[in-house]
Chain A
Amino acid sequence: MKRSLSYSIAALLLVLISCDYKPRNQGRVLYEKECQSCHMENGQGLGKLIPPVAKSDYVVNHREGIACLIRNGIEGEMMVNGQLYTGKMAGNSQLTEIEINNLVHYILVDLNDQKDPYQISEVRAQLERCKQ
C-alpha cells in the first residue's frame, strides 16, 4: 500500500516536471534564462535603452531575421515601435537550432500574438545564411 502510494507520487511528480518541457514551455524557460534580464519579464524592454520584444513591430516585421539576430547579436541603430535604439546585444553561440526555434516561437506566438508557428526548417535555413 505504502509502496504503491510512493510510486504514484513519483509518477505524478514526473508528469508535473515533464509538463514544463513542452516545446512552448522550453521557449519560455529559455526566454527567462537568456533574454529576461534585459528585455524584462513581459518583454516590455527598458525605457529608451532596451527595445521591447513583446508587441514589437520589429519582431513581427523581421520574422525571417530573428534566428540570426539571436545567434550573432546586433549593434547599431534600430527602430522599434517608432523609437530609435542604439544599444548592443551580444549573440548566443550556445543555443541549438531547436532551442532557437522554440525561443523564437515563444517570442512570436506568446509575446506578439502571431499565429504561424516557427518552423525548424526556417531556422536551419536562416542560420545557414548567417553563419560566421
Chain B
Amino acid sequence: MKQRIYWKSLSVSLLLIGFLAEGCEESASRPLPLLGPYEVNDTIIDGMLNTDTTFTAVRPFSFTDQDGNEVTEVTTNGKVYITDFFFTSCPTICPKMKQQMLRLYNDFEDNDDVIFLSHSIDPKRDSVARLHDYAEKLGISSERWHLMTGERDDIYSMAKHYMIAAQEDKLAPGGYAHSGAFLLVDKSKQIRGIYDGTSAEEVDQLKEDIQKLLNDEAQP
C-alpha cells in the first residue's frame, strides 16, 4: 500500500517537472500570439467540416494628430506600432504611461519602422493645439509619435475595436476611466501583444517583443 502511494506521488512529480520544463522551453522561442477580433470560417472539404480561424487585421480609421495631419491605417503601412488611450489632463496613470512610452520612443529612435499612436479620449478639451503643446513639452515629433484626436464616437469605437477599456466617467479622476494598456500591432496590422503601460517590467517585455517582430520580419 505504502509503495503504491510512493509510485503515485513519484509519477505526479515527474509529470509536474515535465510540464514545468516544457513551459520554460516554450517561453524562450515562442512566436508572439495573434490577438484581437477573429472570424471563424466553416467549410466542407471532402465531406468533412473544416473550421478555420482567421484573425482580422485592425480596421481602417482616421484621426488628426498634434500637427493637424490626418492619420489613417495607411500611416501604419509597413510599420510596427504601439498604441494606447489617454488624455492630457489625466491626473492618474497617464503620466506614467507617457513616461514608459517615451522610453520606447527613445529606444527605437533610429528605427523608422516603429511608430506610436496615442488616442486622446477627451476630444472636448484635447484640441489639436493642446496636443501640440503636450507633444512639445514631452519632446516628441509627429513623425514617429502621433497624439490623435477625432470624433468622439470614432475614438470610443476604436478603443472597443482594440479591446481597450475607455469611457467617460464623472466619478473617475479627470472625468474619464480608461485602461493603461499598450497594444503591439505588427506590419500586417495584426495585434500581437497587450501590456500594462504603467509597469516598467511589462514595457521591458514589450521592448523585447517589438525587437522580436522586427527580427522575424527582417527574415525573407
Enumerate chain B residues within 8 angstroms of A48, measured Cβ to Cβ: 136-139
Determine, out of B30-38, B87-95, B145-153, the stretch whose residues face the partner at the interface.
B87-95
Q: Is A38's CB under 8 angstroms from B139's CB?
A: no
Inside 8 A of B134's CB, which chain A residues have their CB? 49
Select the stretch in B2-10, B96-104, B110-118, B156-164 that faces chain A.
B96-104
B99-138 vs A, CB cutoff 8 Å, 1 = contact: the mask equals 1001000000000000000000000000000000010111
Q: Which residues of B contact A88 (CB under 8 A)?
A: 89
Q: How far is the CB of A49 from chain B (nearest CB, A)?
A: 5
The answer to whether A90 and B102 touch (CB under 8 A), given A47-B139, A48-B137, is no
List the A residue with the shortest CB-CB distance to B198.
A37
Alpha-carbon gap, A49 to B139, bound state (A): 10
Closest to A41 in B: B200
Q: Is A37 touching B137 in the complex (CB atoms < 8 A)?
A: no
Bound Cα distance from A36 to B92, whole angstroms: 9
Residues of A contacting B96 with CB < 8 Å?
36-37, 40
A47 touching B91 in the complex, CB below 8 Å, given contacts A37-B96, A40-B96: no
**Min distance, Cβ B99 to any Cβ of chain A, angstroms:** 5
A37 in contact with B95 (CB, 8 Å): yes
Q: Are A38 and B102 in contact (CB under 8 A)?
A: no
Q: Are A46 and B138 in contact (CB under 8 A)?
A: yes
Which residues from chain B contact A37 at a C-beta distance below 8 Å? Answer: 92-93, 95-96, 198
A50 interface contact, C-beta 8 A = yes
Cβ A90 vs Cβ B91 within 8 A: yes
B5 → chain A, closest Cβ, in Å? 24
Q: Give every chain B residue within 8 A of A50 (Cβ-Cβ).
A: 95
Q: Whole-angstrom distance from the CB of A120 to the nearest CB of chain B? A: 28
User: Across the interface, which residues of B come within 8 angstroms of A49, CB to CB?
Assistant: 95, 98, 134, 137-138
**A48, B133: Cα distance in complex, Å:** 10
Q: From residue A69, how far is it (CB to closest CB) to chain B in Å?
A: 15
By a CB distance below 8 angstroms, the chain A residues around B173 are 90
Chain B residues, CB < 8 A from A38: 91, 95
**Smallest CB separation, A126 vs chain B (Å):** 24
Which residue from B92, B93, B99, B136 sits with its C-beta under 8 Å from A46? Answer: B99
CB of B178, distance to nearest CB on chain A (Å):
14
Residue in A36, A40, A47, A90 whose beta carbon sits within 8 Å of that of B137 in the complex: A47
What is the 8 Å Cβ interface bit string for chain B, positions 2-35, against chain A (1 contact, 0 not)? 0000000000000000000000000000000000
The distance in angstroms between the C-alpha atoms of A49 and B96, with both chains bound, is 12
Please state if A40 and B139 are interface contacts (CB–CB under 8 Å).
no
Q: Provide the bound-state CA to CA distance between A84 and B137, in Å.
A: 10
B93→A47 contact, CB < 8 A: no
**Residue pair A47, B92 in contact (C-beta under 8 Å):** no
Q: Tell me how far the C-beta of A3 lies from the nearest C-beta in chain B, rounded to whole angstroms.
A: 29
The 4 closest A-B pairs by CB, nearest first: A48-B137, A49-B137, A38-B95, A47-B138
A-B contact pairs, 17 of them (CB 8 A): A37-B92, A37-B93, A37-B96, A37-B198, A38-B91, A38-B95, A40-B95, A46-B95, A46-B98, A46-B99, A46-B102, A47-B137, A47-B138, A49-B134, A50-B95, A90-B91, A90-B173
Task: Add 7 more A-B contacts to A40-B99, A47-B138 (CB < 8 A).
Answer: A37-B92, A40-B95, A46-B95, A46-B138, A47-B137, A90-B91, A90-B173
